[in-house]
Amino acid sequence: MTTTVSANGITINYHRDARKDGAADAPVVMLSNSLMSSYAMWDDQIEALSEDFQVLRYDTRGHGGTDTPLGVYSIDVMVEDVVGLLDALGIDRVHFVGLSMGGMIGQLLAVKHPERVMSLCLCDTACHMPPAALWDERIKTAETKGVEALSEGTLERWFTEPFRMSETAAVNRIRDMILVTGVQGFVNCAAAIRDMNQCDLLTRITASALVIVGEDDPSCPVSSAEILHSKITGSRLVTLKNAAHLPNIEQKNAFNAALTGFLNEQGE
């Protein structure tokens, strides 16, 4: 069911999917969305994950049905949103899965609150996203022309051209998420990404970690995934062919197989 809860000073929109057999004590997989999307970006993962897990999805601040508070955002404050949400729901530990911005949150969560992270899956993400000028330009565009001015370029980065041409329904679903993202939510989160540099913290991650990346991702390329993999002790790296920034949609079957295979190895 979809509902909201007050946590870390804001109202957070979330959705819980029960395990298919109804086991209330099943471990929880928490899914964290990318910039300019909502928790609905994970729709293609729910059937596969709910075979063995409860699934908790939420909208990051500034996105979906979650508040867009004024003030400076940071990856750190987004981590505290996660902890606040888990505390409000009475959940001690989760398998955390984050894509792009969600993966940035996951990295810092695993460093600051290792006791809350049963395992970590970092998808098409990075520990640093230079150049700052690129983010400043996108922020200016959003502020002067709206997020719609960013939508087509974003979709070109997020999906390969063959997928954009053949799977218009899936692409349009993500386009709609982009277009309903508020300017302030985008601007505040984009600034947080611009100012982030977590690379030196990665060696402190102790959770079992899987890094997934689309082979054709221009936003968080394979080289970014390789940095994560090299710095997180014991991590494994999976590269998915014929996929760009959202392999969980573009190559959902391969993505689900890699993710569930990893999670099922972790135990409870």
Closest CA to 21 of 45, 43, 44, 54: 54
Q: In the structure encoding, which two tokens stand for residue 60, read together?
A: 């990051």
**How far is residue 36's CA from residue 176's CA, in Å, rounded to a whole number?**
10
Domains in the chain, please, with CATH?
2-266 (3.40.50.1820)
246-260 pLDDT, tens digit per residue, is 999 999 999 999 999
**How far is residue 67's CA from residue 59's CA, in Å, rounded to a whole number?**
9
Q: In the structure encoding, which two tokens stand for residue 51, read together?
A: 């075979």
Amino acid of residue 208: S
Is 147 in contact with 68 (CB distance < 8 Å)? no
Closest CA to 102 of 163, 158, 59, 44: 59
Is 219 in contact with 212 (CB distance < 8 Å)? no
Kindly report the average pLDDT of the chain as a whole number. Answer: 97
Amino acid of residue 168: T
pTM check: above 0.95: yes
Residue with tokens 């003030």: 71
**How far is residue 35's CA from residue 191's CA, in Å, rounded to a whole number?**
11
Average pLDDT over residues 154-182: 98
Sequence-distant (6+) residues with CB within 8 A of 129 are 135, 193, 194, 196, 220
pLDDT at residue 148 is higher than 60:
yes
Average pLDDT over residues 47-62: 97
77 pLDDT band, cuts 50/70/90, is very high
Percentage with pLDDT > 90 across the chain: 97
pLDDT computed for residue 125 by the predictor = 98
Backbone region of residue 139 per phi and psi (left: phi > 0; alpha: psi in -120 to 50; beta: other values): alpha
pLDDT computed for residue 267 by the predictor = 67
Q: Report helix, strand or coil for 2.
A: strand
